[in-house]
Amino acid sequence: MIFGLEHTLLVWHRALSVLALSSLLVLFALPLAAQEKTAPAGKQALVPVKGMACSACARRLQKVLSKLPGVEKAEVQLEKEQAILTFLADSKASDKQIEETVRNAGFVPGKIEWRPAGEKKTEPGKPQ
């Protein structure tokens, strides 16, 4: 009889431990998932890129970036050391995904700036 009670308590202890651990996992995973920025509908990502030495580098990066899910258009500007990605309205691309793609192509991504599609970035000191 004692064995039966001990066994039952052990089973319940294991079940509650699994439940508590899974609750902690969800508790800590949700804020991390919420921090991931996704591409806003009808938006562009301006990605500074270091490490491009020639027009062949720019063409290769443009080809790789254009294959990202949800990218409508990818434009890489060698002189400005940047890539401009225009996303479809239903795109789910994230900053992390873009950065990994740039790194995997052999370049160093900078901080990604999001803006409405079609907006031209003005340089400091120049009127809009």
Interatomic CA distance for residues 11 and 5, integer angstroms: 10
Interatomic CA distance for residues 108 and 87, integer angstroms: 21
Interatomic CA distance for residues 84 and 90, integer angstroms: 18
43-116 is classed CATH 3.30.70.100: yes
What are the pLDDT digits (tens) for 57-83?
999 999 999 999 999 999 999 999 999
Spell out the alpha helix ranges (H) of 51-94: 55-66
Q: Which two tokens stand for residue 56?
A: 């062949």
pLDDT above 90 as % of the chain: 52
Taking residues 103-113, report their average pLDDT.
97
For the chain, the domains span 1-35, 43-116
What are the pLDDT digits (tens) for 6-25?
767 666 667 666 556 666 55
